[in-house]
Structure 1
């Protein structure tokens, strides 16, 4: 698939904040997705003392979640690790991996935040806007926001709130295990995002998209 980043990558946080503020108005928070036949998962790791960023992307059929396509890309790491700016560190490699895919996904589940971000423009929003693909943020931990107590049963969720605004949801993806944090990335409403995340989650806490992409990112790391 083809990608076309609309901006130069920043060299400092001031430039990064400016880009986030410019692009966040382009995030679509309603459902603008067609039939979902393929879902993608994205995972990013690092090599050689973080000097190389390694992105893995998998494409699974939906709803049966069978592996259909996969790609890996490595790029020099050009942005430091700073909470709230993860996309500038990871998205350049993710875009290169996406360009290697033979199948264009209908929906992307990102291992990171979407609107649940201090400037409402986390990794899932950034990747969604750049590619114009429907995207969802699925994070293992909370960056910001508060929520009410959550039931232990699978499928229960509570709104994640920040200053009175719903920025995502805390979701019990498996009975009795720690919740995950789901937020809009682009072109998917929150309740739709929760539904797709749960439908992509079978026996484990994390969606199969995340599990497959994490597995791929760990393979053959000596290369």
Structure 2
């Protein structure tokens, strides 16, 4: 069994040009010393940004540390997927299991590439291992969501990125489906300023592509349960 294990790392999953907001930083993964230097540079730049907005952050006790806080939040949290690699993903033979593997309600925190406002929601992932195909540990789906979510994102592209990564690490699958349900602060905090609106995107391949397929119906029936009352 052990010789049939397969490993994928971040280089196998990335398709976006390095440097883009939804891609990795050039030189990815960055060493801690490189991230520390980036934080210092971003702190200085954000201080100048606040200066341009006529914010006296140097004397305001509530804003004195804001440039540093924002810089650290981007590098260590909000955009961590651009700088820090996840552990390699090991897949295993499916050993004859031919049903759907579904993980629902994977938490998603991301950031709109346009306005740098947060995107919050959940991701539902399903796949069917093929004959002699591969399955992965359940938490690895969460790690894939974190890797691509913790970047600048457009939800449609993010959905495709997660789908394509799952497709690659479950080699020989009969199909993969990913649905993202999320709210965007760029809608609620600016522009139209509407609270409560959510965006739903789905990317499907293989047996999940067609509405007449029972696997697709089983997936959507499953994710309606415990999904905050949201009906897809």
What's the TM-score, normalizing by structure 2?
0.29
Structure having the larger proportion of residues in helix: 2
